[in-house]
Amino acid sequence: MATPPARTPDYRTAAKTIDHSLLRPELTLQEVADGCALAARYDVASVCVRPADVPLAVEALAGTDVAVGSVIAFPHGSTLTSVKVAEARALVEAGATELDMVVNIGWLRSGLVDRVRDEIAAVVAAADGHLVKVILENAYLDHDQKVAAYRAVEEAGADYVKTSTGFAPGGATLEDVALMRATVSERVKVKCAGGVRTLDALLEMREAGADRSGATATAAILDEYERRFGR
């Protein structure tokens, strides 16, 4: 068994970096329940489930230290602001404590940054103190659009900037995570998603500045940690 490098987190810290993703549209309810059981077994930070699955996840994870999260305007971000606000309220009422919202990507690419900021602020208000993570879908944005978006997220009062949905042509990159971390203040945390499938990828993203990583390969990642470094 290897000794972890000096900057490698301990097992629990590594596990609490992961939001276990259960968002694929074809998942059965049994597969969602099994995914929640896996998340509890590995004691990750949260599950991120489809909106209709929030009550199931809340029941499955009662009494654990795993939060229940869900998504707003996923994966395209183009619903009306009023619908995003209604989704946020409904998800909180159903028991979700973490909300991952997709921004209106077309607005961002059109230069309507103030409109994007105001929409995020409306969702933050509707979330009523629960965590809001804002998905920018970096694969569709140029450098200046990314920086403007990250700043808008912070101005709107959200808790996290997030790289991607995992359903676009590209996912998380180390460069984007580093740019996010360099752009927002320490108050705002960074989440990466899309392509984090190995322990090495998880650790590299964390080193670049990610506080959370969305993952479907949770078991493989944490089993590899235990094989290398123990618990």
CATH number of the domain that residue 99 is part of: 3.20.20.70
Distances in Å between the Cα of 119 and the Cα atoms of 44, 46, 99, 114 are 30, 25, 14, 9
For residue 150, give every residue at least 6 positions away whose Cβ sits within 8 Å of its Cβ, in sequence order, or none: 136, 161, 179, 180, 183, 184
pLDDT surpassing 70 at residue 66 = yes
* C-beta separation of 43 from 70 below 8 A: no
CA 17 to chain centre: 10
Whether residue 5 is contained in a domain is answered as no
Instruction: Give the pLDDT band (50/70/90) at residue 231.
Output: confident
Whether residue 138 is contained in a domain is answered as yes
Query: What DSSP character marks residue 140?
Result: G
For 74-122, the pLDDT digits (tens) are 999 999 999 999 999 999 999 999 999 999 999 999 999 999 999 999 9
* Domains of the chain: total: 1
A 10 A CB-CB count for 94 gives 17
Q: Quick check: pTM over 0.85?
A: yes
Whether residue 183 is contained in a domain is answered as yes
Whether residue 184 is contained in a domain is answered as yes
Distances in Å between the Cα of 132 and the Cα atoms of 26, 42, 187 are 25, 24, 13
Whether residue 4 is contained in a domain is answered as no
Distances in Å between the Cα of 117 and the Cα atoms of 97, 114, 123, 153, 156 are 22, 5, 10, 6, 6
Whether residue 17 is contained in a domain is answered as yes
Whether residue 6 is contained in a domain is answered as no
User: Which amino acids are annotated catalytic?
Assistant: 100, 162, 191
What value does the mean pLDDT take over residues 65-82? Answer: 98
For residues 4 and 182, give the distance between their C-alpha atoms in angstroms, rounded to a whole number.
27
- Give residue 95's domain range: 12-229
Q: Please give the pLDDT value at position 2.
A: 62
For 181-226, the pLDDT digits (tens) are 999 999 999 999 999 999 999 999 999 999 999 999 999 999 999 9
Whether residue 7 is contained in a domain is answered as no
For 211-223, the pLDDT digits (tens) are 999 999 999 999 9
What value does the mean pLDDT take over residues 24-49? Answer: 98
Tell me the β-bridge partners of 71. 100
